[in-house]
Amino acid sequence: AQTVTQSQPEMSVQEAETVTLSCTYDTSESDYYLFWYKQPPSRQMILVIRQEAYKQQNATENRFSVNFQKAAKSFSLKISDSQLGDAAMYFCAYSDNQGGKLIFGQGTELSVKP
């Protein structure tokens, strides 16, 4: 069975600094997708970034980028120039090609200090 692990329950970053959130996963599949979702206090889940496993190039979305290490089954999220609005719970998630099931990690609560 596939699993997703986030080993950092809480992280803190100074405004304008860079922070990296860690995620590891386990799967026997070769074709799959990885995601980072943001859940602010409003509880609305928002997709931050998506990575397709067959693409070696790391995904980037503005200030957000990932470091995808397929062999190590590692998928970290880097947030550059952190802003107060980045404060939220961040979830790493996995999906294969077979259906709509997202498997989530336990989450990392990110706080941003002014």
Partner 1 sequence: KAGVTQTPRYLIKTRGQQVTLSCSPISGHRSVSWYQQTPGQGLQFLFEYFSETQRNKGNFPGRFSGRQFSNSRSEMNVSTLELGDSALYLCASSKGLAGGRNEQFFGPGTRLTVL
Residues that bind partner 1 (CB under 8 A): 32-33, 42-47, 50, 52, 91, 95-107
Q: Determine contact, residues 38/45, Cβ cutoff 8 Å.
A: yes
Interacting residues of 18 by C-beta distance below 8 A, sequence separation 6+: 78, 79, 80, 81, 82
Structure tokens of 106?
Answer: 């336990």
Residue 79 and residue 83: Cα distance in Å, rounded? 9
**Distance of closest approach, residue 113 Cβ to partner 1, in angstroms:** 25
Output 1 or 114, the one with its CB closest to partner 1.
1
Decide whether 67 or 95 has the Cβ nearer to partner 1. 95
SS3 at position 85? helix
Q: Smallest distance from the beta carbon of 25 to partner 1, in angstroms?
A: 13
The least distance separating partner 1 from the CB of residue 88, rounded to whole angstroms, comes to 13
28 vs 114 by CB, closer to partner 1: 28
